[in-house]
Structure 1
């Protein structure tokens, strides 16, 4: 018995055989052939382009009126509906796994640690600016006035930092 070839390039598209497509959706070859009769697009005899099939199934589900109760539908329609929902969820899961593998997402703990480091440096820099301003204005005003300005700036920066974050949570002003 000859082994069926499951994948073939047709018109520059990677297509699946009826058997492979049936396996991918967890249905029988007969079910796939019934889809063809209902309008499912096919590239050539026995070969299907998966994105076209998924689009067809998605459109078939979208054509369903919003007020239709899935539970009252015939079991074959329920099966197609839930299979499509499963495939969508599996696709979303695979997309998420790929995005994580590409590094599109960070661990929450890493992001929090990096933000904490950033804000510690920011706070030190802002408070260091107070002393620099005090030194810069000292030649133009007496020492008491320079200290008073320095303290006023320090209070303003501390107030701003307290308003920005309270108990680790950003606070709106």
Structure 2
């Protein structure tokens, strides 16, 4: 019985989710992304945003992913959690909002505003994002945008490390999207 318990404890320690992956260099991917953005300060239309880094461990490799986080005061109270994604199986055909929690009417209003703002829509359509979450809590909107670029792949066998840069074109779309989201959410 003690051998099984010890073995289980060792396996738990080996595969703990909160443990940093082997070879992870905190802040290095953030520095690369800051260079790609080319901004002295992380601001869009005078509103500051932040970039956070997180890791995803997989067998013999890990990913270092970055998220742009934008906080916008909400015009009204309430709570909700929404995911934004591109529509279309092969070609992007639009922007869709999926409600995760909260008021269904708020999700429909968010969808309508994202599509009605032509500048934001034009920036979102070519933007290569992996995740775009928008949450409302305590009269504040929190946008978390994870772009495909600005990330790093680290493999142990064979050993390699590759940073996926944010292109100049994607940089323009990313900053325009953050500015547009700030504009749309500040009135909602």
Name the structure where strand makes up a greater proportion of residues: 2
TM-score interval, smaller chain? under 0.3
| TM-score of the aligned structures, taking structure 2 as reference length | 0.21
| TM-score of the aligned structures, taking structure 1 as reference length | 0.22
Name the structure where helix makes up a greater proportion of residues: 1
Higher relative contact order (CA 8 A, sep 6+): 2
